[in-house]
Chain A
């Protein structure tokens, strides 16, 4: 049996053909589609009246863009790696199509075993050689009526049986990363090109779905002094909230609130109690933080670096914005256990040299203290916690060199584990790729056969999300022990070793892990040490405990 868990595509080079045989092309057009996220529509604007009979597009991006730095793209551009999660830094270029899932090997299925062990497949079509071209017959008649009166939807089927038919999924066919001489990639390319079929007739009554979510309008003029947000030139542009522009005053207020125990019941704890700036922004050494009532929490305190490049927060992604996220631990009975009304009341009553009334006025233009403004200020502060100057960054800028062991770790990290093709890497980059060493997805990384904590499932209710958790950034990972959502691994060595011997199969295990040999990637001890050495190069020196600037660690 097989199940598909991911279907993502990058499209470019759109053209439609008039019935007279001439083509209308849009070369600067791009789209990112994600089947799982339900992002399967795109909008063609500016089509002149006429009859059209063919639709053409590429799957993938042309070579000039494939080899350009994606960091300059606007934050909502379909090719921005933060939007699509399909850019292979250091491997070069984009993944054009990602098709992943699970399957039961035929031998296991035919044996009729009750306990069939599922494996994973991961097909990533990429590189200039595999730029795919799709042409689909369509019937599209556009009259010259006012555009506002027309809502035309053109349906195209992507028939995946065309891709899978005749391919027996096994160790040989479970993985491709489009390396040269990979015949599976070539075969898949042809099949994908032929898998697009005309859908139902053009529908003129359906709703139009825009690809790009309209930006939230800024609520008014910026109050205060604009804050200079700093980041690495290699990072993609983040989608900072336009209705909450960063200002010096807003960030300062957020920092003060972050460190203020008034936000908790009894004034016992601040956010900083469990996210200690001098300890990697986590609760040093604790698997579960203890709340104001002496009760342990349910999950490990997450690091707070580079949250500007996240769109869902907490291990299960239940918060859709930082302003929302920031207010939740305040109200959580296992954490700060306070009501927002009480917090507002305490802030209003607080004295000091600069009262909160004054500071809120500097940040927001009036002295009103509200829970919403508390969330906005905390959001501003959290967004400034960036980290982008580790040894790794200096090596990339050619200002430093890896040791031989670190270099070995770097190569292992960015190499697939595909013994049949002679590749014995650690395959880390699939989930912790790019300059941020993270992705925006949720994954089951094989901690348990039966997850005790259902993770993402608790937020979405989707069966396929059982046991999945946010993929954290590995920047500063050396400082953020213990590891995993439940802090089960005390050291970095233990965490790495999990992927070598400890991966446990379950129905939602990530396909990129499920395709590995049972247990994991089976690296020798010296390679585990090399990986750990490389991971330590992701630590920003100024954030180490005892470093002079640690208290000011956020963007200078």
Chain B
């Protein structure tokens, strides 16, 4: 048996429903993303606790 054809109003309602679901999903995605953090990890080269200075003779060979 053939399904009855949708009226124009029904079609518009379906499109609106689809838009609403998409908007909800987008909003949820943004909420999750908004809660995510950006963290900078700084790897700090040191020598005996002091910042490493390149090219500078600072320590004894065989460090002990």
Q: Say yes or no: A165-B61 contact (C-beta < 8 A), given A43-B38, A44-B39.
A: no
Give complex CA distance A333, B34 in Å: 57
Is B42 in contact with A41, judged by CB distance below 8 angstroms?
Answer: yes
- Tell me if B61 and A2 are in contact (CB < 8 A): yes
Contact indicator B42/A166 (Cβ below 8 Å): no
Q: Are A3 and B38 in contact (CB under 8 A)?
A: no
Is B46 an interface residue, CB under 8 A from the partner?
yes
Among listed B5-13, B17-25, B51-59, interface-contacting one: B51-59
Proximity bits, B31-64, A CB within 8 Å = 1, else 0: 0111111111111111111001011111111111
Q: Do A40 and B43 have beta carbons less than 8 Å apart?
A: yes
B32, B55, B60, B64: which contacts A1 (Cβ < 8 A)?
A: B60
Which residues of chain A in 140-160 are interfacial with respect to chain B, using CB atoms and an 8 Å cutoff?
140, 142, 144-147, 150-160
Using Cβ atoms and an 8 Å threshold, which residues of chain B touch A61?
none
Minimal beta-carbon separation of B41 from chain A (angstroms) = 5
A397 within 8 A of partner (CB): no
A160 and B52 contacting across the interface, CB-CB below 8 Å: yes
In chain A, residues 154-178, which have Cβ atoms closer than 8 Å to a Cβ of chain B?
154-161, 164-169
Inter-chain contacts of B52 with A (CB < 8 A): 4, 7, 35, 160
* CB of A515 to closest CB in B, whole Å: 14
State how many angstroms separate the Cβ of B61 from the closest Cβ of chain A.
5
Are A48 and B36 in contact, CB atoms less than 8 angstroms apart?
yes
Asked if residues A41 and B40 are in contact (CB atoms below 8 Å), the reply is: yes
Instruction: Write out the residue numbers on chain B whose beta carbons fall within 8 Å of the beta carbon of A5.
Output: 54-55
**Nearest-CB residue, chain B, relative to A159:** B46
* Shortest Cβ gap from B26 to chain A (Å): 17
User: Is A266's CB within 8 Å of the partner chain B?
Assistant: no
Contact B43–A3 (Cβ < 8 Å): no
- How many whole Å from A9's CB to the nearest CB in chain B? 8
Q: Mark A68-101, 1 if CB is under 8 A from B, else 0.
A: 0000000000000000000000000000000000
Cα(A521)–Cα(B26), bound, Å = 65
For window 504-518 of A, CB contacts with B under 8 Å fall at: 508
Report yes or no: A44 in contact with B41, Cβ–Cβ below 8 A: yes
Q: Contacts A1-B59, A7-B52: A142 and B45 contacting too (C-beta < 8 A)?
A: no
Closest to B32 in A: A48
Chain A interface: which size bin?
35 or more
Chain B residue numbers with a CB within 8 Å of A2 are 57, 59-61
Which residues on the A side are within 8 Å of B37 (C-beta)? 47-49, 142, 147, 150, 152
Q: Are A3 and B55 in contact (CB under 8 A)?
A: yes
State the Cβ distance, A405 to closest chain B Cβ, in Å: 40
Which chain B residue has the least Cβ–Cβ distance from A110? Answer: B61
Which residue, B41, B42, B61, has most C-beta atoms of chain A within 10 A?
A: B41
**Would A33 and B43 count as touching, CB distance under 8 A?**
yes
Complex contact A154–B39 (CB within 8 A): yes
Task: Tell me, yes or no, whether A451 is within 8 Å of chain B by CB.
Answer: no
Contact of A44 among B38, B45, B61, B64 (CB under 8 A): B38
A154 touches B57 (CB 8 A): no
Given contacts A4-B52, A42-B40, A49-B37, contact A35 B45 (CB under 8 A): yes
CA–CA, A444 and B45, complex, Å: 24
Q: For A146, list chain B residues within 8 Å (CB).
A: 34
Supply 4 further A-B pairs (C-beta < 8 A) apart from A44-B39, A47-B38, A48-B36: A153-B39, A156-B42, A156-B44, A159-B48
The 8 closest A-B pairs by CB, nearest first: A464-B55, A168-B62, A1-B57, A144-B35, A142-B37, A44-B39, A3-B57, A153-B40
Which residues of A are at the interface with B, using a C-beta cutoff of 8 A?
1-7, 9, 33, 35-36, 40-49, 55, 102-106, 109, 140, 142, 144-147, 150-161, 164-169, 196, 199, 202, 206, 208-209, 462-464, 508
Subset of 15 A-B contacts with CB under 8 Å: A2-B61, A7-B54, A43-B40, A44-B41, A46-B38, A145-B35, A147-B38, A156-B44, A159-B49, A160-B45, A160-B47, A165-B63, A202-B39, A462-B55, A464-B56
